[in-house]
């Protein structure tokens, strides 16, 4: 098997996406801009000079500005993804240069073609199924009740409720109360009820992001009536949440490494204690934990936690951690330390199925090349390499989310 055959073999494997924002009833992009201005790529476009409020421009000016900014991002990973989306799904070659008038004219014409193509695909009733088949997408986890099921793709969506806003508000409100213990106990009862209802509705997991916290999970004090900090109250609620998740046999997805308190812009937070301070939860509760990271420093910490604790798994790469370099580094760490059943790779965070396709394509390409290099170096044979790929892309998550037959 040569490198191109390995790429083809990995490309054909099924995919379990453990976090996306796809919404049933409108899985496909409704216009070009839902693809071309996808939030994470939009940051790269604006860094290349794209107007911050381009949607207020006349369409011709907006298209020209986009074509110029797209050409200026030609070195980035997400540029490669956008180019692949339009090449593979629409047969359109978006141009990588706008260096002179002739090149700009050609680039603008390609964008016009793409605008028309997405408008047409949005009207096709079977478009989402077509893209999902090309992606290899079998299952996708969503967090909002309005996002599932998917009428276009029955049985694909898995609902996992998201609870960070409940936890944050409860801790903030309890901090201001004269009887903090009672406030936390009431909040914990509400959380436990949510977990119970989710389990009864067939949800296999609960998801929460976590902010930067001071302290350690194994040092959470016995609650007094008052005198606790917000972070201590947060830890107390996390313990209550873990107990409820454990009682109902669910998994807890922990999304870590992204902060919103340093400025008006969300940013990665490379905190060396981010995973370590949660070890007390992993040690105390028998539920499964899946660690999804948005900052690259903690990739090794997540692998180490999964190595230390049999109930901890490593999830996909999220937000600022979704880059070719971090994927390669994380795959090397996972391969060296963990059985493949303890790792999942795909967190598309996509808001339309076309971006799900593009992100999965990138991960499969990186994975195929990584595994081929491991075969060349003598660490794996072909069968073991494809077994690892199957576990990382689909099978490990299918077990974790109780979809073994998917």
Mean per-residue pLDDT, 231-241: 93
Other beta carbons less than 10 A from residue 133's beta carbon: 11
Mean per-residue pLDDT, 54-73: 96
Q: Where are the beta strands (DSSP E) in 143-277?
A: 157-159, 205-209, 251-256, 258-259, 267-268
- Each domain of the chain, given as residue ranges in start order, spans 29-123, 128-400
pLDDT on residue 376:
97
φ, ψ for residue 317, nearest 5 deg: -100, 130
Flag the least confident range among 169-173, 309-313, 314-318.
169-173
CA distance 217 to 221: 9
Q: Is the peptide bond before 369 cis (omega within 30 degrees of 0)?
A: no
User: Is residue 265 scored above 90 in pLDDT?
Assistant: no
Question: In CATH, what number does 128-400 get?
Answer: 3.20.20.140
Q: Where are the beta strands (DSSP E) in 160-311?
A: 205-209, 251-256, 258-259, 267-268, 288-293
At 385-396, the pLDDT tens digits run 999 999 999 999
User: Is residue 166 scored above 90 in pLDDT?
Assistant: yes
At 138-154, the pLDDT tens digits run 999 999 877 778 999 99
pLDDT on residue 221:
66
Count of CA atoms in the C-beta half-sphere (13 A) of 83: 17
Tell me 352's DSSP state: S
Flag the least confident range among 272-276, 367-371, 389-393, 395-399.
272-276
Q: Which two tokens stand for residue 126?
A: 């079977």
pLDDT on residue 399:
96
Tell me 222's DSSP state: P
At 191-227, the pLDDT tens digits run 999 999 999 999 999 999 998 888 888 887 678 888 8
Closest C-alpha among 32, 36, 34 to residue 21: 34
DSSP 364-404: HHHHHHHHHHHHHTTS--HHHHHHHHHIIIIIHHHHHTT-T
Q: Which two tokens stand for residue 289?
A: 């934990």
Average pLDDT of the residues of the chain: 94
pLDDT on residue 108:
96
If residue 283 lies in a helix (H) or strand (E), which one and from where to where? helix 279-284
Q: Quick check: 375 and 385 in contact, CB under 8 A?
A: yes
């Amino acid at each position: 098997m040569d490198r191109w055959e390995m790429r083809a073999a990995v490309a054909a494997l099924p995919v379990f996406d453990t976090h996306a924002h796809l919404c049933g009833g409108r899985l496909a992009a409704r216009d070009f801009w839902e693809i071309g201005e996808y939030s994470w790529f939009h940051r790269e476009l604006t860094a290349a000079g794209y107007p911050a409020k381009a949607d207020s421009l006349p369409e011709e000016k907006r298209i020209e500005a986009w074509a110029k900014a797209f050409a200026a991002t030609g070195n980035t990973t997400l540029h490669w993804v956008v180019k692949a989306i339009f090449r593979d799904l629409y047969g359109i070659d978006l141009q990588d240069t706008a260096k002179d008038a002739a090149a700009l004219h050609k680039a603008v014409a390609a964008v016009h073609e793409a605008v028309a193509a997405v408008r047409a695909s949005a009207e096709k009733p079977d478009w989402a199924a077509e893209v999902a088949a090309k992606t290899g997408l079998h299952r996708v986890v969503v967090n909002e009740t309005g996002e599932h099921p998917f009428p276009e793709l029955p049985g694909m969506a898995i609902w996992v409720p998201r609870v960070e806003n409940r936890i944050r508000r409860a801790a903030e409100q309890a901090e201001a109360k004269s009887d903090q213990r009672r406030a936390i106990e009431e909040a914990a009862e509400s959380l436990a009820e949510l977990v119970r209802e989710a389990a009864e509705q067939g949800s296999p997991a609960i998801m929460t992001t976590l902010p930067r916290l001071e302290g350690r999970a194994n040092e959470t004090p016995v609650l007094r009536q008052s005198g606790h900090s917000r972070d201590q109250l947060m830890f107390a609620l996390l313990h209550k949440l873990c107990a409820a998740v454990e009682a109902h046999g669910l998994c807890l997805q922990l999304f870590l490494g992204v902060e919103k308190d340093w400025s008006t812009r969300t940013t990665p937070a490379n905190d060396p204690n981010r995973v370590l301070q949660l070890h007390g939860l992993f040690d105390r509760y028998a539920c499964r934990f899946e660690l999804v990271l948005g900052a690259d420093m903690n990739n090794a910490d997540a692998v180490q936690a999964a190595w230390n604790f049999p109930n901890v798994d490593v999830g996909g790469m999220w937000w600022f951690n979704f880059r070719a370099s971090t994927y390669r580094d994380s795959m090397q760490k996972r391969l060296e330390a963990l059985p493949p059943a303890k790792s999942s790779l795909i967190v598309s965070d996509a808001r339309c199925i076309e971006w799900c396709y593009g992100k999965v394509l990138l991960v499969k390409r990186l994975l195929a090349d990584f595994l081929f290099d491991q075969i060349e170096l003598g660490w794996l044979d072909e069968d073991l390499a494809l077994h690892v790929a199957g576990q990382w892309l689909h099978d490990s998550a299918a077990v974790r989310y109780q979809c073994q037959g998917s």
